[in-house]
Amino acid sequence: MLPAQPNQSLIDGLACLQTLASSEAPIGSREMARLLGLEITRVNRLLKTLAALGLAEQDERRKYRPGPAIHVLAAQSLFGSGLLRRAIGPMESLYTFGHVVALGVLWRDKTAYLFHGHPSHPASHGLGHERLYPAASSGIGLILLAHRTEDEIRALYADPPVRLERSIPPEEVVPDLDGSNGLLARLARIRADGWALAPIPGSPNRTLAVGLGDQPDAGIGVSGRFGDHQIDELLGALHDVADQIVQKEQQ
């Protein structure tokens, strides 16, 4: 929840930084202003400030991309939280099922994957491999959304989503919130079950996910083609790994 007098410049600056970080190609100030619904003069000032700090830089076409300092920020953040360091070892045991293994957190209405690896690839390939993904279409996103209040969910989807022209499926549409098949009812069922099962759009695969701890800020999941008869075994393994990660945090 925002304070009574939020710092709007900070909010807008972080929105610019996040948009830069999630764009696959350099982006101009005019396009960013359109995406964020901000005045172009304001966006220009914010981007120039980020560039002065090394968090952004311009290419030969004067478009902006992440600057070298953003990698320092990312490295410091990963070291400071320790989540990825604690999680990778236990998560590798899930590779025995032959499915993709993921660790993710929420960013507004998106899932941000800290790790998204396949058992046939080196673990290093799972770092920074996936773009932001609509949380309502993600198993990890759903289990984390299930621990938000109804007011928080409604506020999250009150405005149209910010979408980059280079976005990929699934389409970033605002989900229906109400009704027996709406997102709120689905989240209530997930909250009661303690796990989320989500189909992957355009694929026969599914994702099964659980949260880390009772009030999770992060979740883990496996994605692949598996039958309903395999869910209990996968859930048992996911819960065991989640417990190991939480216990490492408490040590």
* Domain boundaries 8-71, CATH class: mainly alpha
Lowest mean pLDDT among 40-49, 61-70, 166-175: 166-175
Contacts 24+ apart (CB under 8 A), 177-186: 177/153, 183/136, 183/145, 183/153, 183/157, 184/150, 184/153, 186/142
Task: Report the DSSP beta bridge partners of residue 209.
Answer: 196, 221
Sheet holding 133-134, edge to edge: 133-134, 110-117, 100-107, 218-224, 206-211, 196-199
* The pLDDT of residue 186: 95
pLDDT computed for residue 47 by the predictor: 96
Coil, strand or helix at 211: strand
Structure tokens at 5: 């007098």
Radius of gyration of the chain (CA): 19
Answer whether 97's CB lies under 8 Å from 221's CB.
Answer: no
- With 0-12 CB in 10 A as exposed, 13-18 as middle and 19+ as buried, what is 40? middle
pLDDT digit string, tens, across residues 204-225: 999 999 999 888 899 999 999 9
Q: Let me know if the fold of 8-71 is the same as that of 82-250.
A: no
- Residues 143, 162, 223, CA angle at the centre, nearest 5°? 35
So what's the pLDDT on residue 1? 64
Q: What is the pLDDT of residue 248?
A: 83
Tens of pLDDT, residue by residue over 58-94, are 999 999 999 999 989 888 887 777 888 899 899 999 9
Q: Where are the domains of the chain?
A: 8-71, 82-250
> 82-250: which CATH number, 3.40.190.10, 3.30.450.40, 1.10.10.10, 3.50.50.60?
3.30.450.40
Q: Give the C-alpha separation, 156 to 123, whole Å.
A: 33
Q: What is the pLDDT of residue 140?
A: 97
pLDDT of 115-167, one tens digit each? 999 988 877 777 877 788 899 999 999 999 999 999 999 998 886 555 544 44
Q: Tokens for 205, please give them.
A: 């695969």
Alpha carbons 251 and 247: distance in angstroms, whole number: 6
Residue 114 contacts residue 83 (beta carbons within 8 Å)? yes
Reference 16, options 34, 75, 2, 73; nearest CA is: 34
Pair 209, 198: CB distance under 8 Å: yes
pLDDT score for 32: 93
Between residues 121 and 96, the one the model is more confident about: 96
Mean pLDDT of 33-61: 94
Residue percentage of the chain with pLDDT more than 70: 93
- The pLDDT mean for the chain works out to 88
